[in-house]
Amino acid sequence: MGATAETVEQVQEVTGQKYKYGFVTEIDEERPPKGLNEDIIRFISQKKEEPEWMLEWRLKAYRHWLTMKHPSWQKCSIPPIDFQDAYYYAAPKQDKDRPQSLDDVDPKLLETYEKLGIPLQEQEMLAGVAVDAVFDSVSVATTYKAKLEEQGIIFCSMSEAIHNHPDLVKQYLGSVVPYSDNFFATLNSAVFTDGSFVYIPKGVKCPMELSTYFRINAENTGQFERTLIIAEEGSSVSYLEGCTAPQRDENQLHAAVVELVALDNAEIKYSTVQNWFPGDENGVGGIYNFVTKRGACRGDNSKIAWTQVETGSAVTWKYPSCILQGDNSVGEFYSIAITNNYQQADTGTKMIHLGKNTKSRIVSKGISAGHADQTYRGLVRVSPKADGAHNFTQCDSLLIGDTCGAHTVPYIESRNNQARVEHEATTSKISEDQLFYCRQRGISEEDAVALVVNGFCREVLQQLPMEFAVEAQKLVGISLEGSVG
Amino acid sequence: MSESALQPFHEQYTALTNAGSLPGSALPWLSNLRERGMTRFDELGFPTPRVEKWKYTNLRALERQVFHPATTMTASLGLDRVPTLIGEQAGHRAVFVNGRFRAEMSSLGRLPKGAKVMSFAQALEAEPNLLAEEIDQIAEGQDEQPFYHLNCAFMQDGLVLHVEEGAKIEEPIEVVYLAAADDESLAYHPRHLIVAGKNSEATLVEHHVGIGEANTLANHVTEIRVEPGAKLHHYKLNAETDAAFHVSTLHARVQENAFYDSFTLTTGGQLSRNEPHVKLEGSFADARLNGAYLQRGKQHCDNTTLIEHAVPDTHCREIFKGALEGKGRAVFAGKLHVYPDAQRTDGNQLSRCLLLSNQAEIDTKPELEIYADDVVCSHGCTAGELEKDPLFYLRSRGIPFPVARRMMVESFLAEVVQEITTEDLRQAFLDRVTDWLSRSEQ
């Protein structure tokens, strides 16, 4: 993916020269003080040169947020978050703050890169070495961008979209996840800094997998990311979020919002691989990943598919959902969540069947090891008008070790007698027989576990786009290191 | 929760305690329990749908009623015979009217040695120490159950059954709970204690029926201990009137090698809530928590269950099936909780519901909470209408639609009724299912 040896070299040359002449421009912008108030929101909006309506929207969200309480129903224990003790606008990172070469990077991180089979140049990029990845992706992305523009596809950052396509943003932003939706989504609406914007025009099949990886200015979109994807009639797109490589970030709280809109006959496939810092073996540190993801199948025959591989973060708390409004629309959710050490995950999905003959399919695989706690929480709701709706849910949990927990909390509400709802869940431990068989064939215990778990997750891994799938398989093994023996 | 809904209970409680008319007022442990119950009920109030455990059951209709405490009735009920599930000649029978034991209607004379049946009020006089040791002691996690506390405050009578060590009671013991209210709405709060001694075996059949037009609130609390090696079969039929509110909270502890087998069929009631909480606290303890529900009109039936696997090598199986007609609504929320170290737990749960009308609603929440790794736990759940192909097959053989439909629903439910181990009782429950179906409005 991405960085070719050549470009990285070129970039290195350029940056190297810069340093040679001590040519460091002071790009550091003033940082607003810690804390959250209307002034900070005005500051963010001003910095981003946003139009008035955007600021109004942010303030509306902020005022609503003040009336809300931090939710407490989740099955994760987190210390209370002090929202006044955080920066809400992070200036772009300076080169001098970054590691100057791979030698400065945490060897543990490099070891993982090695295992994932990431080429050296990409390693530099991922570790955020001063060879600015942005430079690199500029060159890569411009080639792609030209191709996309030919077809009328808009793929840019949210800030750009607010400037260049205000009508689309106005029409769709907050239409799936309203500003008042939930505590973290409301917070995001008030202070989001950037994110991706994708618009696929009528009848266009996006010729490539879109990925934040290639997007300009993707760096430092910060903790409050806002993504909006619109697929017009008859279009289709596959979007990749995240990266299999471990990512370090100084922000502890991540509260992103992702909105998808699929119109008649449109199809959106959204794949996530999340591997943020999960904290160390003792559960110290790690990222809180509280994301609101929701897709609306507005049009008839539309389809939205979520695929996620969640291995990182200290606490993951998210429910990518589908609102199946259009007749014959389809929602899918495929998930693998792996928690090890002291990680906690409370994740699942919601499928809201509103249209006739809507179909949804949920396949969730949870693997819990060490002292981790994991919950599948899902809702399937069939409204009285959703004649012929059909849902199938399967959630399986695998426990490795006797100090972890796995929980399943599905809610199934059916108000239509012509709908069919099926739910299945199992919890079991990793099979001794299978492990023994592998061991007897000379496969080490850790590899055997990785093999068995990969088999357990196969159904979901198959749903991932090709380039993700291979890496995700390796990731499954790595995430469980240290969980046996 | 509205304050006004609590007010009548509060006033009644004060009036009853001041008059000293609640039994056992001289017993400090009981007075304390009542006092604590009333205080806690005041704090909790009637649960609203915002309370997770009551998410799908709305008590507004109940809160709107003002219930009067049921008093001892001496007048004839106008019944020539006691309604019975197992037949007048068979078994042993204890009859309660509006929560009060009616010796003259009961037939307990043939009870074999080893089985002791008393009313709660009798036991308070005869063996207060026995009750002091057990009441409120078996229950666990009751703190968040408002109806449990309401029961503690008002409890007056109920069933006390003690099966002695090694005793095998061949014939079932039927307990008939008759709700009778004609003029004013009545509430009563029976309290039951059932102890199956070591290696004993008994079958208990609860039969809830109602007569009269007025609303009733039956707020039962049952505490059960199944001692090592004992077997307790506990079957229940709720066939109260459409004006009845029925809340039943049950706490059972199942000890080593013991077997607790339960089945609940709900056909009656305007709103019924069964909340069994079974704790498997000895190795090789085994529990069956099965049930069926048939609801139509505006009936609402809620089965909220909790099974706790507290130690290694325990086993449970839970099957709930039902059919809904009209605007019938059902809730099934079943939770399996496996404690850390409760290895080799085997737990299965299945919930299936047939929606026979387009206005019926089923809300299901099968929950697994597991902290041990060497376990086999599963749950399955389905909701939908009758399958088209078998229906078509039957009709193609010349069977008219209503008959075909009835056959299919009957066989669907028979699967869970079959779980009843006593043959006669199985048939009696099946007959109730058939009877309900024959009254189908569709």
Q: CB-based contact (8 Å) between B80 and chain A? A: no
- Write down the pLDDT at residue A11: 38
Residue A29 pLDDT > 70, yes or no? no
Q: Which of A91-95, A129-133, A344-348 has the lowest mean pLDDT?
A: A129-133
Split at pLDDT 50, 70, 90, the class of A356 is: very high
- Write down the pLDDT at residue B78: 66
Q: CB-based contact (8 Å) between A416 and chain B? A: yes
Q: CB-based contact (8 Å) between B357 and chain A? A: yes
Q: CB-based contact (8 Å) between B115 and chain A? A: no
Task: Find chain A residues with C-beta within 8 A of B381's C-beta.
Answer: 410, 412, 421-424
- Write down the pLDDT at residue A250: 56
Distance between CA atoms of residues A376 and A442, nearest Å: 35
Distance between CA atoms of residues B276 and B258, nearest Å: 17
Residue B88 pLDDT > 80, yes or no? no
Minimal Cβ distance to B364: which of A384, A412, A424: A412
Cβ(B163)–Cβ(B200) below 8 Å: yes
Split at pLDDT 50, 70, 90, the class of A108 is: low
Q: CB-based contact (8 Å) between B340 and chain A? A: yes
What is the chain A residue with the closest CA to B376? A428
Distance between CA atoms of residues B48 and B19, nearest Å: 32
Cα angle A76-A80-A85, degrees, rounded to a multiple of 5: 135
Question: Which helix (H) or strand (E) is B293 found in, with range?
Answer: strand B286-295
Average pLDDT, integer, range A72-80: 81
Phi and psi at B193, nearest 5°, equal -130, 125
- Write down the pLDDT at residue B247: 96
Distance between CA atoms of residues A59 and A61, nearest Å: 5
Mean pLDDT estimate for chain A: 80
Minimal Cβ distance to A417: which of B56, B356, B364: B356
- Write down the pLDDT at residue A114: 65
B383: distance to nearest CA of chain A, Å? Answer: 5
User: Would residue B166 be called left, alpha or beta, if left means φ above 0 and alpha means ψ between -120 and 50 degrees?
Assistant: left
Q: Which of residues 372-401 of A touch B (CB under 8 A)?
A: 384, 397, 399-401
The pTM (predicted TM-score) of the whole model is 0.86
Q: Which of A45-54, A216-225, B382-391 has the lowest mean pLDDT?
A: A216-225
Average pLDDT, integer, range B351-367: 93
Q: CB-based contact (8 Å) between B49 and chain A? A: no
A390: tokens are 């059909």
- Write down the pLDDT at residue B22: 87
- Most A CBs within 10 Å: which of B339, B363, B371, as the mutation test of the A interface? B371
Question: Which helix (H) or strand (E) is A428 found in, with range?
Answer: strand A420-429
**Hey, what's the torsion of the CAs at B208, B209, B215, B218, to 10 degrees?**
-20
Q: CB-based contact (8 Å) between A419 and chain B? A: yes
Average pLDDT, integer, range B194-206: 96
- Write down the pLDDT at residue B361: 94
Q: Which of A350-354, A476-480, B102-106 has the lowest mean pLDDT?
A: A476-480
Express each pLDDT in B280-301 by its tens digit.
Answer: 999 999 999 999 999 999 999 9
Distance between CA atoms of residues B272 and B238, nearest Å: 9
Beta bridge partners of residue A421, listed in sequence order: A391, B383
A429·B373 Cβ contact <8 A: yes
Give me the interface pTM, i.e. the ipTM: 0.85
Question: Which helix (H) or strand (E) is B154 found in, with range?
Answer: helix B146-154
B368·A414 Cβ contact <8 A: no
Task: Find chain B residues with C-beta within 8 A of A386's C-beta.
Answer: none
Minimal Cβ distance to B355: which of A407, A414, A425: A414
Residue B369 pLDDT > 60, yes or no? yes
Minimal Cβ distance to A418: which of B369, B371, B385: B385
Amino acid code (one letter) for A460: V
Split at pLDDT 50, 70, 90, the class of A74 is: confident
Cβ(B40)–Cβ(B153) below 8 Å: no
A429·B365 Cβ contact <8 A: no
Split at pLDDT 50, 70, 90, the class of A185 is: very high
Split at pLDDT 50, 70, 90, the class of B181 is: confident
- Write down the pLDDT at residue A320: 94
Split at pLDDT 50, 70, 90, the class of A127 is: low
Beta bridge partners of residue B219, listed in sequence order: B247
Q: Domain spans of chain A?
A: 151-160+168-431
Minimal Cβ distance to B373: which of A73, A401, A419: A401
Beta bridge partners of residue B301, listed in sequence order: B272, B330
Residue A26 pLDDT > 50, yes or no? no
Express each pLDDT in B233-267 by its tens digit.
Answer: 999 999 999 999 999 999 999 999 999 999 999 99
What is the chain A residue with the closest CA to B377? A427
- Most B CBs within 10 Å: which of A69, A74, A381, A408, as the mutation test of the B interface? A408
Residue B155 pLDDT > 70, yes or no? yes
Task: Find chain B residues with C-beta within 8 A of A397's C-beta.
Answer: 368, 370
3-class secondary-structure state, position B51 = coil
A407·B378 Cβ contact <8 A: no
B384·A414 Cβ contact <8 A: yes
